[in-house]
Structure 1
Amino acid sequence: MSIRHGLLALLERGPRYGSRLRTEFEARTGSTWPLNVGQVYTTLGRLERDGLVVREGVDEAGHVLYALTDDGRAELRAWFARPVERTDLPRDELVIKLAMAVGAPGVDVRAVVGAQRRHLSEAMHTYTRLRARALSEAPAHPDEVARLLVLEHLVFRAEAEIRWLDHCEARLLRLAEATAAEPPQTPPAPPV
């Protein structure tokens, strides 16, 4: 997730201070990816160092305001224009867990798959309820539409992972059937 670019996008609307950026980021993403305010200020410091934002005075409450520079606007336009690369895939704990469980002594891989499927089903129901609520509010404001897009992403991602778990279970059943059908191997005869 690019917090750096997310903050630049929020600053496109005008100067903001750190905790307001945090609040707007969380509102825009439906609080799916909460930010630590320290992380926001650290990122703002790096953006300032890189010449993408500048400090632009203080507001009436004494908060330091940050604003985009021309280089910041150019970086933001370039970010929106380029596709998100999927070549640097993060490690997925579920994939690692299943890969390690296959053939591990005393592990029922189907039970692992079942537990994950139940968890995803519950999460998907929650996301679907939140999505239905957001749709019933007739989203007309960009922040509401942004929140809806995030919720829909979570629904679709959970659906895709459930389909993948179904595939894993089918493959594991075929493996179990093939293993059961193999004749038992007799140990080689000792040399005479």
Structure 2
Amino acid sequence: MSVRQALLALLDEQPRYGYQLRSEFEQRTGAAWPLNVGQVYTTLARLERDGFVEGAGDDGDGHVMYRVTEQGRAEVAAWFTTPVGRTQPPRDELAIKLAMAVTVPGVDVGTVIQQQRTATMGALQDYTRLKQRAGSTEPAELAWSLVLDSMVFAAEAEIRWLDHCEARVRRAAAEARATASTSDVPTAAEEVAR
């Protein structure tokens, strides 16, 4: 997720100060990814350093306002028209956990998978309940609804992936048992050699 570009997009609408940016970001994303106001101001400082935003004076209440520059507008336009790259996928804690679980002796991989499936199903039910409440076509409500859709689809995909992992682990265990049991039975050549 690019907080940097999201803040630029908000500033492209109108000048804002840090707390307003944080509030707008969280409102539009349904607070799915809460922002620390310190992170907002750190990002604003970098954007200003890079020439994408500039100070726009004081709002009268002591808040420093920021506005997007032409260079910042170009950056926002490029962000909206450039596909999100998939060349370096983000680290996925669950994939890492399962990769470790199948390679570390003594870990009950089936339990790891089942516990995660239960947690993901619970999250999916929560998202579905939230989705039923959302329904307005107002831009802010539509934005939140799209974020919820993404979360629902991701949870559904994770459940399918967990089912796939469980099947693969079971097949691997069955193959290991079959290999172990056949290695105890002498081959025809070994019988002849006796």
* TM-score under structure 2 length normalisation: 0.91
Offset, 1:143:
1.0
2-structure distance, mates of 1:29, 1:86 = 22
Structure 2: runs of 5+ lacking an equivalent: 185-194
| Counterpart in the other structure of 1:190 | none
Give distance in 2, aligned partners of 1:94 and 1:130: 24
Q: Secondary structure at the match of 1:6?
A: helix
Structure 1 vs Structure 2 CA RMSD: 1.1
Per-residue Cα deviation, 1:54-75 (whole angstroms, up to 9, x for no partner): 1111112111110011111011
Paired residue secondary structure (2:84):
coil
Separation in structure 1 between the aligned mates of residue 13 and residue 103 of structure 2, nearest angstrom = 54
Determine helix, strand or coil for the equivalent of 2:56.
strand
Answering whether residue 175 of structure 2 is matched by residue 178 of structure 1, we say: yes
Q: Does 1:161 align with 2:155?
A: no
Residue 68 of structure 1 corresponds to 68
Return the alpha-carbon distance in structure 2 between the equivalents of residues 46 and 181 of structure 1: 59
Q: Deviations over 1:70-95 (max 9, x none)?
A: 11101100111100001111221111
| Residue equivalent to 1:41 | 41
User: What percent of counterpart residues are identical?
Assistant: 60
1:103–1:2 distance in 2 versus 1, CA, 3 Å? closer
How far the C-alpha of 1:99 sits from its partner, in A, is: 1.1
Pairwise CA distance, 1:140: 2.4
**Secondary structure at the residue paired with 1:12?**
helix
- Report the alpha carbon displacement of residue 105 of structure 1 after superposing the two structures with TM: 2.1
1:15-58 Cα deviation digits (max 9, x unpaired): 00000000000011100100010110011111111111111111
Matched AA of 1:178 = E
1:141 — aligned with what? 138
CA distance in 2, matches of 1:141, 1:60: 30
Letter of the 2:144 counterpart: R
In the alignment, what sits opposite 2:119?
Answer: 119
Q: SS state of the match for residue 80, structure 1?
A: helix
Between the two proteins, the alignment pairs up a number of residues equal to 183
Query: What SS does the corresponding residue of 1:66 show, helix, strand or coil?
Result: strand
Question: Partners of 1:126 and 1:110 in 2: how far apart?
Answer: 24
- Distance, in Å, in 1 between the alignment partners of 2:9 and 2:103 is 47
Which residue of structure 2 aligns with residue 189 of structure 1?
A: none
Q: Deviations over 1:83-129 (max 9, x none)?
A: 00011112211111111111432211111100000000000000111
Deviations 1:125-173 (A, max 9, x none): 00111111112xxx22211111100011000000000000000111111
Please state whether the residue corresponding to 1:16 is helix, strand or coil. coil
Tell me the SS of whatever aligns to 2:172: helix
Segments of structure 1 that go 5 or more residues without pairing to the other structure are 187-192
Q: TM-score, normalized by length of structure 1?
A: 0.92
| More helix, by proportion | 2
Residue of structure 2 in register with 1:12 after alignment: 12
